[in-house]
Chain A
Amino acid sequence: GENVEQHPSTLSVQEGDSAVIKCTYSDSASNYFPWYKQELGKRPQLIIDIRSNVGEKKDQRIAVTLNKTAKHFSLHITETQPEDSAVYFCAASIKRQLTFGSGTQLTVLP
């Protein structure tokens, strides 16, 4: 089955700096890659997604890149703010089954 690895597990940045979270996947059949933000005790919230026919997607301060050949994808958050602090999960999808990474605890220091 699919295996998704996510790094780093924790990340601290100064407010205003950029944050990058990286994921790799194992199954080349995966064709959809969403990113979720989860605050403590809350639901995972979809923040951005990318499909396998696209290499990059941007939405305001958030961007995702996908390298199908290398089977890795990354989340980039620019101009970080304290409210960006949360756990971020990447995921890869085959036939609607999402396989999640283990999460990155992002802390934005004021």
Chain B
Amino acid sequence: NAGVMQNPRHLVRRRGQEARLRCSPMKGHSHVYWYRQLPEEGLKFMVYLQKENIIDESGMPKERFSAEFPKEGPSILRIQQVVRGDSAAYFCASSPETGDGNQPQHFGDGTRLSIL
């Protein structure tokens, strides 16, 4: 059973370009979460999605950031007009569908985004 798959592992962009980060959840998981980790810091929640729905985007910056989880294909985190402060590791996690919401979130290997 493949784990959470993220790509690319490393992404370099110049200021003003767009960054697209992809995440395929574990088989059987219908919930996807995106987190951002700055160097030597903890992970910060960004957004929680189910197929075709954004459930909670309270951690997303108001501008330039968007996320989707289409019916077919991976979840995408999109950052437009990147700035140096966007440099970070972006982790995706997934969890199965349950009733109480208390299910483990399993993380992918992350995408290290570097802005030149």
Q: Which residues of A contact B (CB under 8 A)?
A: 1, 6, 31-32, 34, 36, 42-46, 49, 51, 89, 93, 95-103
Contacts and interface: CB of A to CB of B under 8 A. Distances in A.
Contacts of B31: 96
A97 B107 contact: no
Interface stretch (B17-25, B36-44, B61-69, B72-80): B36-44
B105 interface: yes
Interface of B: 31, 33, 35, 40-45, 48, 55-56, 58-59, 91, 95, 101-102, 104-110
The SS class assigned to the A binding surface is strand
Contacts of A99: 45
A102 B43 CA distance: 8
A1 B104 CA distance: 21
Nearest to A105: B40
Contacts of B45: 97-99
Contact of B33 (A1, A32, A96): A96
B43 A100 contact: yes
Contacts of B106: 46
Nearest to B102: A32
Identify the interface centre among A31, A32, A101: most chain B CB within 10 Å of its CB.
A32
